[in-house]
Amino acid sequence: MGCKAQLSPTFYDSTCPNALTVIRTSIRTAVSRQRRMAALLTRLHFHDCFLQGCDASILLNDTPTTERTTFSNVGVGGYEVIDSAKSGVENICPGIVSCADILAVAARDASVAVGGPSWSVGLGRRDSTAAYPSQADSDLPRADQDLQSLISDFEVKGLSERDMVALSGAHTIGQSRCVAFRGRIHGNGSDIDANFATTRRRNCPLTRGEGDDNMAPLDLVTPNSFDNNYFRNLVQRRGLLQSDQVLFNGGSSDRIVLEYSNSPSRFASDFAAAMVRMGEIDPRTGANGVIRTICSAAN
């Protein structure tokens, strides 16, 4: 927790005062072209922070040591948007702004671009020179997890159950692949609305290998807008992933889901606070990291 004091929203004010403007313009452009990009950038930051802290290790693309090709990171995207933002910043301030900080700022700007909350991003992270592919599938949450394992996984990172539920609300935007929710929609469980399951089966056959990469929105009501419909869906047993619906299935998190389903403003404020805390997971600062000039290379 002592690392928090080392991050500051004003970190680049004197060394690269226009950095945040350049990043914001780049993210706005990308999201305006493809609304789903907001979800991809949020997930990219999340998947980075959950492996050895927010150090841009997920961006490294040196095979065979990259995290990008691990099972847990299949479907993660937005790398080219971060590369573009980094290029823009390097043009005005070479070697100053870290890729890890660009990831953190991009997640905030992506939220704003689709009507979500804003927050003050602490800056001053440095980048790792190595990736951690062996830890990706053990440290990153899975679509089939139960509530207690999710709570435990987030607690290990210093995040509370409320943080976990709020961050899960990022699924108010974005999509998921059939392979991640096939078991839920074909399982005939009591925790899924029958009509919802029938609708989703049309584009996601039971047989493995058929339609594995077919996509469905995580929020079937407003898939491209940041709002609290994700939580309203859960109350109606219309969560797409098993790890979504376990948040509202008779467990300790039910009360938080109900709270967010009734109060968009409370969800937005808790989401912003949780994103700040997530962005402060084990940051590299000072001599513990480097400033990579190309985000995909350890250079």
Show which residues are catalytic. 47
Q: How far apart are CA 149 and CA 220, in angstroms?
A: 26
Tell me: is residue 117 an annotated ligand-binding position.
no
- Is 55 annotated to bind ligand? yes
Q: Tokens representing 182?
A: 């096939």
- Does residue 57 have a known ligand-binding role? yes
The answer to whether 172 is a known ligand-binding residue is yes
* 8-state DSSP, 145: -
Task: Report CA 132 to chain centroid distance, whole Å.
Answer: 18
189 assigned ligand-binding residue? no
CA distances (Å), 73 to each of 17, 67, 149, 150, in order? 33, 7, 19, 18
* Residue 141 annotated as binding site: yes
Q: Within a 10 A sphere around the Cβ of 267, how many other Cβ atoms? A: 26
**Residue of 117, 123, 89, 87 whose CA lies nearest to 105:** 123
State yes or no: 254 annotated in a binding site. Answer: no
Q: Is 222 annotated in some ligand binding site?
A: yes
Give the SS3 label for residue 273.
helix
Which residues participate in the annotated binding site for Ca(2+)? 48, 53, 55, 57, 67, 172, 219, 222, 227
Which residues participate in the annotated binding site? 48, 53, 55, 57, 67, 141, 171-172, 219, 222, 227
Which residues participate in the annotated binding site for substrate? 141
Which residues participate in the annotated binding site for heme b? 171
